[in-house]
């Protein structure tokens, strides 16, 4: 007889204690297609695999409006954000993001600003005996995205914004001081950006010191929702932060890229060479291998079945992103860091290209119609350009705690990845420019 849900113990504390390992461990313990559990007192059903991705993102299966817990809204996403919308209202709001973020010219512009910010800041690292790469990468990204988005910030303000938006990401999943810092950071930045939006609306776009007409600030300020109304300044601020915050969060992947180059230095030379296909493969393997978003969730809109398994109406449906990216049924030796698994040269030699909805670090399905991340192309392009710069940089890695604890969400190397002896001149090819000590 199938166990009724009320007998399944609540797993919230296990999730907090086990972090990324929580769902994969439960999938390992069952021979069924789903994991049944409870979170925050609600029944929850976890799925994974490409078919599960298509089901999860399929029209009318799960909705987000009631699914996101208040602590996540008050830190990571913001109340009233695109993440909380469903159906037509979601599509209209999502179009705003797709127009800004999925446009090749826009992506090139952002990459150029980030590259310039790196080149500016790298000089100051040469003056310092010890640089925490995570902190510096977040400053680079904050300066780049603010300039691109048309946010009028001086460098000190951009550094402050970098600290606040990384705090929002760092504290969303943990009770205690990290969480309170995240709430305070969101309150502060929403109030400040809402003021900018009101100012931008008061001035005509492109004139009188208003934001450039094609900037993200101008686009958000003039956006009209499904009801035909402009966003109130607070919601406009939430959506601008929905561009700034995740762009700065690429610092997590930049830090992981440094970790990967340190652990597997054999990739450094090919990455430094500017081989674009390899840089893409390296970025995809960083996004697959290292833990960032553990899972995504929504509420079942009605009672449904998936592969014969009943999903009760209103239950939380979780898609196990981290578990899927490490599922041995989908990936050969999933715990081996191997950019070659995404290398087109390998496909040309008879390997198989990764099928859609298999690699899911930023969600799956169609980003226009569903909630898949609209910033995935930006993430890959920005990560590529910074990983190549990192591979060309000369530095040493002093002794430090490089452990990446799976219990912590989001995680990163404990030290933040400290480097010293930085020398920004491009290293001559083939000289083994990187020294690890
Ligand atoms: C740092 C790397 C990133 C990771 C790991 C990441 C991950 C994700 C994930 C897992 C989702 C949720 C998908 C779902 O709910 O089904 C998401 C949504 C989203 N991401 Fe990203 N993302 C990243 C970068 C970006 C960037 C660079 C941007 C914008 C410039 C961005 C903007 C968004 C927005 C606006 C949503 C909400 C989409 C919606 O609800 O329709 N993300 N991201």
CA distance 328 to 333: 7
| Position with higher pLDDT, 7 vs 365 | 365
Both 119 and 57 in one domain: the answer is no
- Residues 13 and 68 occupy one common structural domain: no
Closest listed residue to residue 32, CA positions, set 10, 18, 47: 47
Q: Are strands 296-300 and 435-436 parallel, antiparallel or unpaired?
A: unpaired
Is the distance from CB of 124 to CB of 394 less than 8 angstroms? no
Ligand 1 center to residue 293 CA distance, Å? 9
Q: Which residues contact 81 (CB under 8 A, 6 or more apart)?
A: 73, 235, 238, 239, 242
78 and 14 co-located in one domain: no
Digit-coded pLDDT (tens) for 280-290: 999 999 999 99
Residue minimizing CA distance to atom 33 of ligand 1? 373
Query: Closest Cα to atom 35, ligand 1: which residue?
Result: 242
Q: Does 309 share its domain with 394?
A: no
21 lies in which domain range? 1-63+293-325
Dist. CA 63–CA 298, nearest whole Å: 5
Residue with the smallest CA separation from ligand 1 atom 2 is 250
Distant-in-sequence, close-in-space partners of 16: CB < 8 Å, separation ≥ 6: 173, 174, 175
**Residue 426: pLDDT band by 50, 70, 90 thresholds?**
low
pLDDT tens for 242-282 read: 999 999 999 999 999 999 999 999 999 999 999 999 999 99
Ligand 1 site, CB within 6 A = 82-83, 94, 97, 101, 242-243, 246-247, 249-250, 253, 292-293, 296, 361-363, 371-375, 378-379
> What is the mean pLDDT of the segment spanning 304-311?
95
pLDDT of residue 366: 96
Rounded to whole angstroms, the Cα distance separating 184 from 199 reads 23
Q: How far apart are the first and last CA of the chain?
A: 58
- Residue from 87, 100, 375 whose mutation best tests the ligand 1 pocket (most atoms within 8 A of CB): 375
Q: What is the pLDDT of residues 203-225, one digit of tens each?
A: 865 566 778 888 999 999 999 99
What CATH number corresponds to the domain at position 53? 3.30.43.20
Shared domain for 30 and 130, answered yes or no, is no
CATH classification at residue 278: 1.10.630.10
Tell me the C-alpha distance between 98 and 375, whole Å: 8
What token pair was written down for 360? 């899911």
**Which of 88, 246, 253, 292 is the best mutation target for the ligand 1 pocket, counting ligand atoms within 8 Å of the beta carbon and taking the most?**
246
For residue 379, report the distance from its CA to the centre of ligand 1, in Å.
Answer: 9
pTM of the model: 0.95
Please tell me the residue having the least CA distance from ligand 1 atom 28: 375
Atom 1 of ligand 1, nearest CA residue: 250
Residues 220 and 113 sit within 8 Å (Cβ to Cβ): no
pLDDT of res. 205: 52
Residue closest via CA to ligand 1's atom 30 equals 243
> Separation of 249 CA from ligand 1 center, angstroms?
10
* Residue having the nearest C-alpha atom to atom 40 of ligand 1: 83
In whole angstroms, what is the distance from residue 171 CA to residue 177 CA?
Answer: 8
Q: Are 235 and 408 in contact (CB under 8 A)?
A: no
Per-residue pLDDT tens for 389-423?
999 999 999 999 999 999 999 999 999 999 999 99
Same domain? For 264 and 115 the reply is yes
List pLDDT tens digits, range 49-86: 999 999 999 989 999 999 999 999 999 999 999 999 99
- My answer on whether 189 and 302 are in the same domain is no
**Which atom number of ligand 1 is nearest to the Cα of residue 250?**
1
Q: Are residues 422 and 281 in the same domain?
A: yes
Measured by CA distance, the residue closest to atom 21 of ligand 1 is 373
From the list 378, 417, 203, the residue with the least C-alpha distance to 290 is 417
Cα 106 to averaged position of ligand 1 atoms, centre (Å):
17
Say whether both 84 and 219 belong to one domain: yes
Number of domains composing the chain: 2
> How long, in residues, is the chain?
437
Residues 6+ away with beta carbon under 8 Å from 234: 80, 190, 194
Asked if residues 62 and 298 have their Cβ atoms less than 8 Å apart, the reply is yes
Asked which of 302, 325, 348 is the last residue of a domain, the reply is: 325
Over its C-alpha atoms, the chain yields an Rg (Å, rounded) of: 22
Residues 277 and 341 in one domain: yes
Q: 201 by DSSP, 3-state: which?
A: helix
Q: Is 381 left (phi over 0), alpha (psi -120 to 50) or beta?
A: alpha
Number of Cβ within 10 Å of residue 171's Cβ equals 24
Sort strands 435-436 and 42-47 into parallel, antiparallel or unpaired. unpaired
pLDDT digits (tens, 9 = 90+) for 328-356: 999 999 999 999 999 888 877 777 788 88
Same domain? 376 vs 279: yes
Whether residues 267 and 371 fall in one domain: yes
């Amino acid at each position: 007889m199938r166990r009724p849900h009320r007998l399944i113990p609540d797993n919230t504390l296990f999730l907090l204690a086990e972090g990324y390992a929580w769902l994969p461990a439960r999938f390992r313990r069952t021979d069924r297609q789903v994991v049944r559990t409870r979170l925050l007192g609600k029944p929850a059903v976890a799925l994974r695999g490409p078919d599960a991705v298509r089901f999860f993102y399929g029209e009318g299966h799960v909705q987000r409006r009631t699914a996101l817990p208040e602590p996540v809204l008050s830190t990571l996403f913001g109340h009233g954000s695109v993440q909380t919308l469903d159906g037509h209202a979601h599509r209209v709001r999502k179009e705003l993001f797709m127009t800004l973020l999925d446009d090749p010219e826009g992506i090139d512009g952002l990459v150029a600003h980030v590259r310039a910010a790196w080149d500016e800041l790298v000089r100051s690292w040469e003056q310092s005996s010890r640089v925490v790469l995570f902190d510096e990468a977040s400053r680079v990204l904050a300066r780049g995205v603010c300039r691109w988005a048309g946010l009028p910030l001086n460098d000190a303000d951009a550094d402050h914004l970098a600290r606040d938006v990384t705090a929002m990401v760092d504290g969303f999943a943990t009770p205690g001081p990290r969480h309170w810092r995240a709430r305070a950071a969101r309150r502060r930045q929403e109030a400040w950006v809402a003021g900018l939006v009101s100012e931008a609306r008061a001035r005509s776009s492109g004139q009188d010191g208003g934001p450039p007409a094609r900037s993200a600030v101008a686009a958000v300020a003039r956006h009209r929702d499904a009801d035909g109304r402009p966003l109130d300044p607070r919601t406009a601020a939430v959506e601008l932060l929905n561009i700034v915050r995740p762009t700065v969060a690429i610092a997590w992947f930049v830090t992981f890229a440094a970790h990967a180059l340190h652990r597997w230095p054999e990739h450094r030379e090919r990455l430094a060479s500017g081989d674009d296909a390899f840089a893409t493969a390296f970025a995809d393997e960083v996004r697959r291998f290292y833990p960032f978003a553990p899972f995504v969730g929504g509420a079942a809109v009605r009672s449904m079945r998936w592969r014969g398994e009943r999903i009760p109406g209103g239950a939380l449906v979780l898609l196990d992103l981290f578990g899927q990216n490490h599922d041995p049924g989908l990936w050969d030796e999933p715990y081996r860091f191997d950019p070659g698994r995404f290398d087109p040269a390998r496909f040309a030699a008879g390997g198989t290209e990764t099928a859609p909805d298999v690699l899911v670090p930023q969600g799956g399905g169609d980003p226009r119609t569903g909630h898949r991340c609209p910033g995935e192309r930006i993430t890959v392009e920005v990560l590529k350009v910074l990983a190549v710069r990192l591979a060309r940089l000369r530095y040493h890695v002093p002794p430090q705690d490089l452990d990446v604890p799976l219990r912590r969400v989001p995680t990163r190397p404990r030290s933040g990845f400290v480097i010293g002896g930085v020398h920004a001149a491009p290293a001559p090819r083939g000289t083994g420019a990187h020294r690890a000590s």
